[in-house]
Structure 1
């Protein structure tokens, strides 16, 4: 009796699998090579043309360039930005990542994969920060509305301080989701911005909705 065939992955999920491989490479590299971590961190907030020390680590990991186009440049720039942000994680976040990796190695049952569209984006991470009192709700909302109107270059200048603050407070950043969103920012910013805003308000109001359901139940 033959087993049922696995459901084929969508192109978007296949892309996220590649993002996950890239992110894990950067996390592992920073955990095992202090110089590499320092080199990658030097790219924080810098334009790609100024990221001299990052090329040796990232060029072999860039997607194949079939022909010169803006989308390829956006994907490349996003990888440099995310690699720098990962390298600049505060110690608390690095320790948490190592602990999670060690726990995953010890268990024989892998965690089920989460569909890409269910994974937290920057909007939901900001909402978690507001819910945890790391940010004033008005400040978090104002920051979000400002970010979704900015260019990719201006946005990437704001990300180092913001992600570090969230990570220091125990809020998780899904680097693969951020990588995908930055890759599409110039070409499809309105779609990404809408997802961030929807996720922010969904997470911010989750506790209120749960309380309402309990009262009505």
Structure 2
């Protein structure tokens, strides 16, 4: 007689890290309900972890209880995303919760998709946005981090959402899987940006993103 054993459901290889990334983003959103805490987290914009002394008291306990990533690139990704969330403009803080979190991971927008949406809506200029993505594709994580605050702020000011959990995952793996992630960003950008743009008088002035990210 053969035993009847129910097969365990297949678990995506990155399900644990995806779950932790979403939990972390939710945690930071709750932290940012305090003006004082939000200001402290915002002080880490574009900086390495070693210069984020004001952030430790808010992030170290959570990281300790949720796997505490010791790898430098991974820890910096957590700190970077926390500071970017804290630096959101008021319009983004008041917006509805991110609906993409309910999508399957492979359907959620990465940074390239957000930039493509910004181009499609006339928030960013096509040449500037494409140049910025190609520049980032050639850079290390250390070079990318300082340019993210200006880019994400411009996206959010234009009403373009950023999936922080996806960005966290990509930044954490960037130096190990840069070519793969950069290719995914560029593919998503071109899929999303195609079509008529919708420039509006209220769209914020477009900076030269490639130049800003190269500083």
TM-score tier by shorter-chain length is 0.7 to 0.9
Contact 1:13–1:115 (Cα < 8 Å) also in 2: no
Query: In the alignment, what sits opposite 1:124?
Result: 113
Aligned ranges for residues 1-217 of structure 1 at < 5 Å? 7-31=9-33, 33-62=34-63, 63-64=66-67, 72-96=71-95, 99-100=96-97, 113-205=102-194, 207=195
Contact 1:123–1:199 (Cα < 8 Å) also in 2: yes
Change over 3 Å in CA distance of 1:14–1:201 after alignment to 2:
same
Give ranges in structure 2 of 5+ residues lacking alignment.
1-5, 197-215
Classify the secondary structure of the residue corresponding to 1:100. Answer: coil
Partner Cα separation in structure 2 for residue 49 and residue 161 of structure 1? 21
Give ranges in structure 1 of 5+ residues lacking alignment.
105-110, 209-217
Partner Cα separation in structure 2 for residue 65 and residue 162 of structure 1? 28
- Residues 37-85 of structure 1 deviation map (CA, whole Å, 9 limit, x = unaligned): 000000001111000001011112225358x6xxx22111100000000
Classify the secondary structure of the residue corresponding to 1:53. Answer: coil
Partner Cα separation in structure 2 for residue 7 and residue 150 of structure 1? 38
Q: TM-score, normalised by structure 1?
A: 0.81
Partner Cα separation in structure 1 for residue 169 and residue 101 of structure 2? 21
Contact 1:124–1:203 (Cα < 8 Å) also in 2: yes
Over aligned residue pairs, what C-alpha RMSD do you find? 2.2
Q: When you count helix as a share of all residues, which structure comes out higher? A: 1
Change over 3 Å in CA distance of 1:117–1:55 after alignment to 2:
same
